[in-house]
Structure 1
Amino acid sequence: MIKHCIAVLALCLTTSMQAQITFNTGSIQLDTDLNQINLSASANFESFKNDCAVAYHVSTSSLEDMRVRLHWSPGEIYFALELARLSRRPVADVIHIYQNNPKNGWGNIAKQMGIKPGSSEFHQLKQNAGNTKNKAHYKSKGKPKHAGKGNKKKYS
């Protein structure tokens, strides 16, 4: 029984570690917030995709392309959209910079987009990710727990 519990615990730890992405933004808090966004958005990518399409004025097919062709996580998609918005450049520029140096990390991509560590734009990026993390609770599809439960009043 103890061996079974240890095996389950090891599996859980391995799974949770695999779910974490190293964004390399230069900010531990920003990386943590992006991982939380990633976790929430992965539960229901369709809802996340629709919210981003509206918020950032991009097509859902562009967002799907980032997910499928570029193999970006929802956290990376969110970060790329925020970089484009704060730098006032098209998201295609973010994609181009990423594709030229995919191993450089998102912090270096932000620098190349003109968002330097410590700048007001970088602080805004961190604040926006924190705010998004706190309100982004994308639930998996299915019936909510309270569905079908209303007041029990009978109407005649």
Structure 2
Amino acid sequence: MKKAVIAISVLFFISLSAASAHADLDSFLAGLNLQARGDMEGFSVKLSNQFGVSLPRVETIITRVEEPADAFMCLQLGAMAKEEPERVVQTYRRKKEKGWGAVAKDLGIKPGSAEFHALKRGDFELTGEGGMATDTKETKGKGKGKGKSK
């Protein structure tokens, strides 16, 4: 009897922690949607700056997803998986009913990886600062000096 009570307690706490991890991502996305609806232009500019994607491409992505926060997630997962935003949006449109974990897996982000754990925790932020370039057409250099130390 004690083993059954312990097993049920462990399962309860595991399911509770999984639900809270999901709630964290959901809370983050809900906050992004509020921010975007308050200032869509500013939201779009922040996405463009943070992910190194041109503003017209960001605006196109926003029109192809259900919620503005979904555009953020497509760009975030694209940066994590080193995939073009358009491919991520295609994957999102196919897998969105199964959740962001399924989208991430389809893009090659492995369950158990640091990136996948960050996704599950909703451990992201919209800073509007550069550093997460995904727009290879606009961010690739000529190649001079790559890999060379000064």
* TM-score interval, normalised by the smaller of the two chains: 0.5 to 0.7
Q: CA deviation at 1:77?
A: 0.6
Q: Is the 8 A contact 1:66 1:72 kept in 2?
A: no
**CA distances 1:3-42 after superposition (whole Å, capped 9, x unpaired):** xxxxxxxxxxxxxxxxxxxxxxx72211211111111122
Q: Is the 8 A contact 1:115 1:121 kept in 2?
A: yes
Name the residue aligned to 1:114: 108
Name the residue aligned to 1:51: 46
Bigger Rg, structure 1 or 2: 1
Q: CA deviation at 1:71?
A: 4.0
Q: 1:116 to 1:34 in 2, by over 3 A?
A: farther
Q: 1:101 to 1:120 in 2, by over 3 A?
A: closer
AA partner of residue 82 (structure 1): Q
* TM alignment of 1:1-156, pairs within 5 A: 27-68=22-63, 70-125=64-119, 126=121, 128-129=123-124, 131-132=125-126
Per the normalisation by structure 2, the TM-score is 0.61
Per the normalisation by structure 1, the TM-score is 0.59
Q: CA deviation at 1:127?
A: 5.8
**CA distances 1:17-72 after superposition (whole Å, capped 9, x unpaired):** xxxxxxxxx7221121111111112210100101111111112112211222x243
Relative to its length, the structure with more helix (as a share) is 2
Q: 1:71 to 1:94 in 2, by over 3 A?
A: closer
**CA distances 1:88-147 after superposition (whole Å, capped 9, x unpaired):** 111121112123334222221011112234321123444642x43xx68xxxxxxxxxxx
AA partner of residue 107 (structure 1): G
AA partner of residue 109 (structure 1): V
Q: Gaps (5+ residues) in structure 1?
A: 1-25, 137-156
Q: 1:50 to 1:27 in 2, by over 3 A?
A: same
State the identity as a percent. Answer: 29
Distance 1:101 1:63 in 2: 20
Q: Is the 8 A contact 2:65 2:71 kept in 1?
A: no
CA RMSD of the aligned region, Å?
2.3
